């Protein structure tokens, strides 16, 4: 039984609590943790060389969370805790741990994602800052967004972020590998929602860059939401500007990425959707190889040897590799063997997604207009969506069933983040202490900026009569949740395959 209330007595659940003062985190006394000043590896690069006011151990961080979590709800806001589900972990990823918790303000179950040690290095700082900005920007039923962000501690103790999102019970990967039957209706309604959410992202000029079944959350009503925007970025119109190659999980990586393209478009997401579509039909990964080269060869085995004009995005080494292999004809007809659900309409749409040349690949809008998805659209808007509503025995549909973003995502902050890597790269040949000092100088302003962004989000919650939330240290689950750790990206991303 989860316990929340004015005294927050110990119980078996709630990892979050409501604060009745939105500035409580900032009013934390520095003297309460002064006796714990030691070196903290995760903060050393941020506050070393006189940049910060102090460095603290993880024990100090723990105390900071305790102090930031008070005061709590007044008696008038106490919830009836009977039959309240216990807090529990529901997912672990490379950049966060997700728990199912109860929102003490209304008793609803929500997902709480912890992003620990977010300012450990420039890579994680950039990723988290971008993801938080996007989660606050999104307003679409098929895209995961931030319902709330927990009140941060004082900037001196700001090392981790807690984001509340809608609770989704599963994801598409778990469903595909399960024994649960997937009907044609399931496939159509899932694919419709993926493309509907992706159309919204692309209209905001956002490339997801890691579309895969595990990043497609599904609830008990089959509502689907695209999640995990750590690798997402705004589409670059200037083809002369180089883009990261090591994006997208290998099985879902488009051929232009496998062939070393340094500039790409939203078509890479469509390729990923095509791979997932085939996986939904066949209940197995379509292109499952051990290495990027083998991945590319599996693709050419299915699509046939591409024409030279279809490889204009590829680097010279990749083109030579393809041209040296025996010329192969297309075997796309084998897609009919995926399952009995792979009918003509399904394979026709799938073949338009799995096109070698990204310029010839179908886009989201045209894919949504394909006859195969008519039933999926009807089913979704008849009984699943929140945009349409029933009046008596009739159903009223909105004018735009697949809305675009109201504006493009503002990515001006990316220029500042990119300049950090540029300046830091100049000094990589210098001594390590100097590089660490540069990290401290550049990461700290981003920490301050993100801290301000979260405080503004908490202020907006107060204006909408929603009490800001913070960690509840009196929960029995708190110790386990606070100690949850995850892996972090290295300073440099893994090197792509060298074709030259």
What digits encode the pLDDT tens for the residues 333-352?
999 999 999 999 999 999 99
Confidence band, pLDDT 50/70/90 cuts, at residue 159: confident
Predicted local distance difference test score (pLDDT) of residue 120:
77
144 and 273 in a single domain? The answer is no
Q: How many domains does the chain have?
A: 2
In a domain, 347, yes or no: yes
In a domain, 427, yes or no: no
254 and 227 in a single domain? The answer is yes
In a domain, 155, yes or no: yes
Please say if 210 is a catalytic residue.
yes
In a domain, 151, yes or no: yes
Confidence band, pLDDT 50/70/90 cuts, at residue 428: very low
Which residues carry a binding-site annotation? 113
Predicted local distance difference test score (pLDDT) of residue 270:
98
pLDDT at 64 over 80: no
Predicted local distance difference test score (pLDDT) of residue 71:
27
Summarize the chain as % helix, strand, coil (round to 5): 45, 10, 45
336 and 457 in a single domain? The answer is no
Predicted local distance difference test score (pLDDT) of residue 338:
96
* Residues contacting 47, CB < 8 A, separation 6+: 53, 54, 55, 156, 440, 444
317 and 279 in a single domain? The answer is yes
Q: What is the pTM of this model?
A: 0.79
75 and 204 in a single domain? The answer is no
Q: Which of 87, 156, 210, 310 is catalytic?
A: 210
123 and 174 in a single domain? The answer is no
In a domain, 461, yes or no: yes
In a domain, 429, yes or no: no
Predicted local distance difference test score (pLDDT) of residue 34:
38
382 and 445 in a single domain? The answer is no
381 and 295 in a single domain? The answer is yes
Residue 26: strand, helix, or coil:
coil
34 and 84 in a single domain? The answer is yes
In a domain, 498, yes or no: no
174 and 163 in a single domain? The answer is no
| Buried-exposed string 217-256: b where 16+ CB fall within 10 A, e elsewhere | bbeeebbbbbbbbbbbbbbbeeeeeebebebbebbbbbbb
156 and 225 in a single domain? The answer is no
Which residues carry a binding-site annotation for ATP? 113
- pLDDT above 70 covers a percentage of the chain that reads 69
Predicted local distance difference test score (pLDDT) of residue 75:
31
82 and 220 in a single domain? The answer is no
In a domain, 81, yes or no: yes
Predicted local distance difference test score (pLDDT) of residue 243:
62
In the beta sheet, which residues pair with residue 18?
Answer: 469
Q: Which domain holds residue 259?
A: 170-396
């Amino acid at each position: 039984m989860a316990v929340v209330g004015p005294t927050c007595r110990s119980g078996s659940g709630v990892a979050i609590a409501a604060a009745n003062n939105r500035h409580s985190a900032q009013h934390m006394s520095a003297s309460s943790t002064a006796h714990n000043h030691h070196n903290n590896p995760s903060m050393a690069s941020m506050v070393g060389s006189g940049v910060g006011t102090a460095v603290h151990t993880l024990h100090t961080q723990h105390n900071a969370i305790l102090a930031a979590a008070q005061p709590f709800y007044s008696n008038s806001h106490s919830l009836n805790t009977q039959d309240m589900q216990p807090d529990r972990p529901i997912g672990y990823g490379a950049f966060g741990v997700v728990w199912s918790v109860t929102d003490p303000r209304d008793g609803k179950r929500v997902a709480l994602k912890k992003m620990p040690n977010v300012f450990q290095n420039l890579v994680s700082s950039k990723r988290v800052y971008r993801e938080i900005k996007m989660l606050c920007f999104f307003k679409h039923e098929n895209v995961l967004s931030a319902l709330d962000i927990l009140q941060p501690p004082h900037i001196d103790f700001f090392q981790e972020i807690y984001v509340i999102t809608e609770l989704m019970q599963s994801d598409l990967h778990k469903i595909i590998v399960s024994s649960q039957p997937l009907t044609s209706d399931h496939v159509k309604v899932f694919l419709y929602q993926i493309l509907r959410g992706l159309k919204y992202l692309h209209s905001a000029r956002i490339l997801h860059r890691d579309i895969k079944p595990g990043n497609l959350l599904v609830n008990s009503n089959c509502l689907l939401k695209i999640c995990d925007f750590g690798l997402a970025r705004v589409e670059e119109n200037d083809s002369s500007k180089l883009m990261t190659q090591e994006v997208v999980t290998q099985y879902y990586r488009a051929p232009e990425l496998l062939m070393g393209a340094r500039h790409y478009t939203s078509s890479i997401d469509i390729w990923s959707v095509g791979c997932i579509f085939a996986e939904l039909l066949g209940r197995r990964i379509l292109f499952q190889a051990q290495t990027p080269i083998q991945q590319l060869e599996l693709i050419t085995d299915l699509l046939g040897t591409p024409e030279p004009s279809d490889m204009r995005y590829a680097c010279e080494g990749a083109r030579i590799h393809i041209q040296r292999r025996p010329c192969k004809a297309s075997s796309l007809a084998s897609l009919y063997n995926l399952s009995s659900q792979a009918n003509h309409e399904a394979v026709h749409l799938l073949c338009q997604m799995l096109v070698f040349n990204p310029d010839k690949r179908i886009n989201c809008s045209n894919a949504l207009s394909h006859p195969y998805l008519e039933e999926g659209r009807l089913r979704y808007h008849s009984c699943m969506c929140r945009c349409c509503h029933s009046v008596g025995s009739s159903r009223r549909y909105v004018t735009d069933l697949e809305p675009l973003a109201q504006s493009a995502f503002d990515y001006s902050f990316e220029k500042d983040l990119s300049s950090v890597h540029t300046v830091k790269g100049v000094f990589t040949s210098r001594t390590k202490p100097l590089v660490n000092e540069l990290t401290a100088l550049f990461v700290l302003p981003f920490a301050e900026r993100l801290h301000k962004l979260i405080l503004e989000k908490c202020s907006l919650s107060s204006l909408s009569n929603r009490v800001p939330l913070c960690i509840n240290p009196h929960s029995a689950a708190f110790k386990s949740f606070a100690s949850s750790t995850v892996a972090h990206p290295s300073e440099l991303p893994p090197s792509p395959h060298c074709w030259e």
